[in-house]
Amino acid sequence: MSEAAEPREHPLGAEAASSPSVRVRVDLAYDGACFSGWAKQPGLVTVEGCLAEALELVLREPVRLTVAGRTDAGVHAGHQVLHLDVPASRWQGLPGRSGDAPGEALVRKANGALSRVLGRVGHPLRPGARPVEVGAVALRCAREVPASFDARFSALSRTYLYRIADGPLRRTPLNRTYSWALKDAVDPGELSRAAEPLLGLHDFLSFCRPRPGATTIRELHQLSFTRGEGGLIEATVRADAFCHNMVRALVGACVAVAEGRRETGWLTGRIESPARDSSIRLAPPEGLMLQRIDYPETPEDWAERADATRARRG
């Protein structure tokens, strides 16, 4: 008879192993110009790495963060969503002597801890990154949610906004770090017409860097271009989910058609015959911002959506 296996330590500590947990939804925003993307990576400054360190200072527990969408290096988020599980005793004790609700206390304390973490960042920066500044990441709200909520798999869609400063009259020092500067002006109508073949359910292998074992089939709900605030072109890109580099590849491909560097039928061919295409130019990350995440309205629908998404990804 084999020896009994050694008991494994709970990843969130001894207290978490014996205490019921609370699932917490956190809504946040960040300036991606300082970071090497969302995902924690050794030796790099990332949003997840800094945020996890701040939350661990507040909760005095290791944390495991599940995010709605992992943004690339240099990409911003006006509205990002994550969830984490917190021991109930920690959650209930967050307000201390204040009259705050636990979620309010977490936001206040975590934003304070973020100021300390960001103020002492000492890891090497990625090439071209701006210096890390206090305030580059901010929690907007936090609240307890049923365990059926999954920030990643319960999401119905993600919406990105991409800004383009086209022509010398629209390129200014004030928008240089939050838009793609094009030499000549382009017509937003031409960009939208170029995008039409891309809408719907397709294999977007031509427009992304696939991860091992992951599907590249996505449903693109919207890819439209309009002239927005300050004369910048604003691309709204909405899909059920996105592959790595997919938004930047789509925008870059539409610009190539509108500028006349590619024929009108080129994008149709890329969708009908999906294959890795190194000739597709990625739009720079500076112009891209995660704008919103949409979820079903009820906890029952959260669970159903999460199950369906996991099955499809598998």
Question: For residue range 23-56, what is the model confidence (pLDDT) as tens digits?
Answer: 999 999 999 999 999 999 998 999 999 999 999 9
CA atoms of 250 and 193, how far apart (whole Å): 13
Residue 135: the pLDDT is 94
Using alpha carbons, list the distances in angstroms from residue 201 to 5, 15, 241, 256, 313.
Answer: 47, 45, 11, 22, 14
For residue 266, being part of any structural domain is answered with yes
In degrees, rounded to 5, the angle at the alpha carbon of residue 158 between the alpha carbons of residues 179 and 140 is: 80
Task: For residue 277, give the amino acid letter.
Answer: D
Instruction: Tell me if 305 is assigned to some domain.
Output: no
pLDDT attached to residue 7? 41
Same domain, 103 and 227: no
Question: Does 155 have pLDDT greater than 80?
Answer: yes
Q: Say what the pTM is.
A: 0.89
Is the backbone of residue 60 left (phi > 0), alpha (psi -120 to 50) or beta? left
* CATH classification at residue 215: 3.30.70.660
Residues 172 and 284 grouped into a single domain: yes
Contacts of 5 (CB under 8 A, 6+ apart): none
Half-sphere exposure of 181 (CA within 13 A, CB side): 11
Let me know if 100 is a catalytic residue: no
In a domain, 1, yes or no: no
Give the percent of the chain with pLDDT over 90.
76
| Amino acid (one-letter) located at 75 | V
Domain boundary among 145, 179, 211: 145
Domain that holds residue 261: 157-296
pLDDT at 198: 96
What is the pLDDT, as a whole number, of residue 15?
A: 47
Within this chain, do residues 164 and 284 fall inside the same structural domain, yes or no?
Answer: yes
pLDDT class of 177 with cuts at 50, 70, 90: confident
Catalytic residue among 31, 72, 85, 150: 72
Asked whether residue 14 carries a pLDDT value surpassing 70, the answer given is no
Domain count, the chain: 2
User: Which among 153, 138, 140 has a CA at the least distance from the CA of 68?
Assistant: 153
The answer to the question of residue 35 being in a domain is yes
The answer to whether residue 2 is domain-embedded is: no
Same domain, 138 and 233: no
Residue 305 in this model has a pLDDT that exceeds 60 = yes
Residues 162 and 139 in one domain: no
120 in a structural domain: yes
> What pLDDT sits at residue 123?
63
Q: Are 189 and 107 found together in one domain?
A: no
Same domain, 93 and 193: no
Are 277 and 178 within one domain?
yes
For residues 213 and 93, state if they share a domain: no
Average pLDDT over residues 184-205: 96
Is residue 62 a part of any domain in this protein? Answer: yes
One domain for residues 198 and 141: no
Tell me, yes or no, whether 71 and 112 share the same domain.
Answer: yes
What are the tokens at 187?
């017509």
Residues 169 and 137 in one domain: no
Question: Per the domain annotation, does 139 fall within a domain?
Answer: yes
% of the chain residues with pLDDT over 70 = 92
Nearby residues of 152 by Cβ (< 8 Å), 6 or more positions away: 66, 67, 68, 69, 309
What CATH number is associated with residue 119? 3.30.70.580
- Please, what is the average pLDDT of the chain? 90
Of 145, 174, 203, which residue constitutes the final position of a domain? 145
Q: How far apart are CA 164 and CA 180, in angstroms?
A: 5
* Mean pLDDT, rounded, for 80-97: 96
